[in-house]
């Protein structure tokens, strides 16, 4: 069901639709049915949130809907056990509340996930099912569903486009290592100077070492077939490993090379844009991506960062546009699985084949133990994460 269909229920829906829930009595109709009933009860409104709450000593579902100009709020109250409509309160919207609502309304056209599947995703992440409330919320530039639970503590944020969980870290969490944007940009400059003309940066990752974080910069030879991993600490190059792409990497790198002429904004500039969007953020990793679409290929930088508020996001920069012109957006981060060398989201026999095909070769992209070579440790990584 499209968002347009979900959010703006047809005026042909009447209260009789809601009344139909009364014929099937149960302990709780559930959020999916409550969402449909709330939309049917206020067809002129767009659903922004729904919750369970107590009214007059009775547990109900209460939907929060707004008209298109954001002048009117509809509160649809539903019997929790039957879905029967109890009442719809119509309220004005204060001027102070409109900016936050407008920010959400402006992004509703992007939504791909409705309330019920967002709640399912939150339940899977939290291992809970006692949802108290689900509502749209802007989180670090992402239009998300904020799902709250009856314990009064647990909150899960679900990207309304991708359905991914937006991580909210604590100070003591075991987070991926990051570096400030200034250190990352400096490392890119150092790595490119080290390799010289004809090499371009296509990715990077921060690694934690005893002496501090280092930046592993991945470069591609434009007119050749080689890749290079240059490790930078401070203003010094620690090591540099040149290697040929192997297995699944061959086609991917060929695609990147074939589309490099579309690039206007390089990675250093993209990292600067990420810092401007999220001041004080730490950069974890980044990669150059090419997507093939009907209208042609698109090129972008995906920058994984942790904001100053410890929210982890993937920040996407249009690499084909100059900074200031390209469309930029954020999504929930995509976590890769160690041992998934084919990049298909599962670890299976194909990944074992990738390891054996590259056995003994230098390939930092497949390396898991820091020796740059593919061997028994990489086999162990596949087996331990077998899907």
* Residue 81: closest CA among 59, 57, 53: 59
Q: Are residues 292 and 340 in the same domain?
A: no
Q: Are residues 310 and 374 in the same domain?
A: no
Q: Using N-to-C axis directions, what is the helix angle for 267-277 and 181-195, rounded to 10°?
A: 180
CATH number at residue 101: 3.10.450.40
Contact between 48 and 104 under an 8 Å Cβ cutoff? The reply is yes
Cα–Cα distances (Å) from 62 to 44, 56, 89, in that order, read 16, 13, 10
Of 23-32, 74-83, 141-150, 252-261, the range with the lowest mean pLDDT is: 23-32
How many residues are present in the chain? 387
Q: Are residues 260 and 281 in the same domain?
A: yes
Q: Are residues 52 and 16 in the same domain?
A: yes
Specify the DSSP class assigned to residue 332: P
Beta-strand pair 58-66/72-79: antiparallel
Among candidate residues 122, 139, 166, the one where a domain is terminated: 166
HEC secondary structure over 173-224: CCCCCCEEHHHHHHHHHHHHHHHCCCEEEEEEEEEEECCEEEEEEEEEECCC
Q: Are residues 344 and 321 in the same domain?
A: no
Q: Are residues 246 and 349 in the same domain?
A: no
**What domain range is 135 assigned to?**
109-166
Digit-coded pLDDT (tens) for 285-342: 999 999 988 788 999 999 999 999 999 999 999 999 998 777 789 999 987 778 888 8
Q: Are residues 316 and 348 in the same domain?
A: no
Residue 290 lies in a domain: yes
Residue owning tokens 């930029």? 328
Residue 172 lies in a domain: no
Q: What's the domain count of the chain?
A: 4
Q: Are residues 97 and 234 in the same domain?
A: no
Residue 171 lies in a domain: no
Q: Are residues 117 and 77 in the same domain?
A: no
Q: Are residues 288 and 204 in the same domain?
A: yes
Residue owning tokens 């009907």? 294
Residue 174 lies in a domain: no
Q: Are residues 29 and 114 in the same domain?
A: no
* Residue 111: closest CA among 47, 30, 155: 47
Q: Are residues 139 and 214 in the same domain?
A: no
Digit-coded pLDDT (tens) for 19-69: 343 334 458 999 999 999 999 999 999 999 999 999 888 999 999 999 999
Q: Where are the alpha helices (DSSP H) in the chain?
A: 3-7, 15-19, 31-41, 98-105, 115-126, 181-195, 248-258, 267-277, 349-357, 376-384
Among candidate residues 315, 331, 347, the one where a domain is terminated: 331
């Amino acid at each position: 069901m499209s968002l347009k269909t979900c959010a703006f229920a047809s005026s042909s829906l009447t209260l009789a639709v809601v009344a139909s829930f009364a014929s099937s009595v149960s302990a709780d109709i559930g959020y999916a049915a409550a969402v449909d009933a709330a939309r049917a009860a206020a067809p002129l409104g767009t659903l922004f949130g729904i919750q369970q709450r107590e009214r007059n000593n009775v547990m109900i579902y209460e939907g929060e809907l707004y008209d298109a100009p954001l002048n009117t709020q509809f509160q649809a109250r539903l019997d929790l056990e039957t879905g029967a409509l109890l009442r719809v309160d119509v309220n004005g919207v204060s001027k102070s509340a409109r900016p936050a609502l407008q920010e959400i309304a402006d992004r509703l056209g992007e939504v791909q996930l409705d309330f019920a599947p967002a709640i399912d995703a939150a339940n899977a992440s939290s291992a809970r099912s006692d949802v108290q409330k689900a509502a749209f919320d802007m989180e670090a530039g992402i239009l998300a569903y904020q799902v709250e639970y009856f314990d009064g503590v647990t909150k899960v944020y679900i990207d309304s486009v991708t359905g991914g969980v937006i991580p909210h870290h604590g100070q003591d969490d075991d987070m991926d290592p990051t570096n400030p944007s200034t250190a990352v940009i400096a490392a890119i400059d150092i790595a490119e100077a080290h390799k010289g003309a004809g090499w371009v940066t296509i990715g990077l990752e921060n690694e934690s070492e005893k002496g501090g974080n280092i930046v592993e910069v991945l470069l591609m030879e434009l007119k050749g077939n080689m890749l290079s991993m240059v490790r930078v600490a401070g203003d010094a190059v620690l090591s540099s490993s040149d290697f040929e792409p192997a297995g699944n990497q061959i086609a991917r790198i060929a695609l990147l090379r074939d589309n490099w002429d579309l690039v206007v904004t390089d990675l250093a500039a993209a990292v600067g844009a990420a810092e401007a969007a999220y001041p004080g953020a730490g950069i974890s990793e980044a990669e150059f991506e090419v997507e093939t679409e009907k209208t042609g290929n698109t090129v972008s930088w995906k920058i994984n960062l942790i904001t100053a508020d410890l929210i982890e996001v993937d920040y996407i920069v249009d690499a084909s546009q100059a900074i200031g012109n390209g469309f930029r957006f954020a999504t929930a981060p995509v976590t890769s699985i160690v041992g998934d060398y084919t990049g298909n989201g599962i670890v299976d026999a194909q990944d074992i084949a990738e390891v054996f095909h590259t056995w003994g070769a230098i390939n930092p992209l497949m390396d898991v133990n820091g020796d740059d070579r593919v061997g028994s440790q990489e086999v162990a990584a596949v087996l331990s994460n077998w899907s």
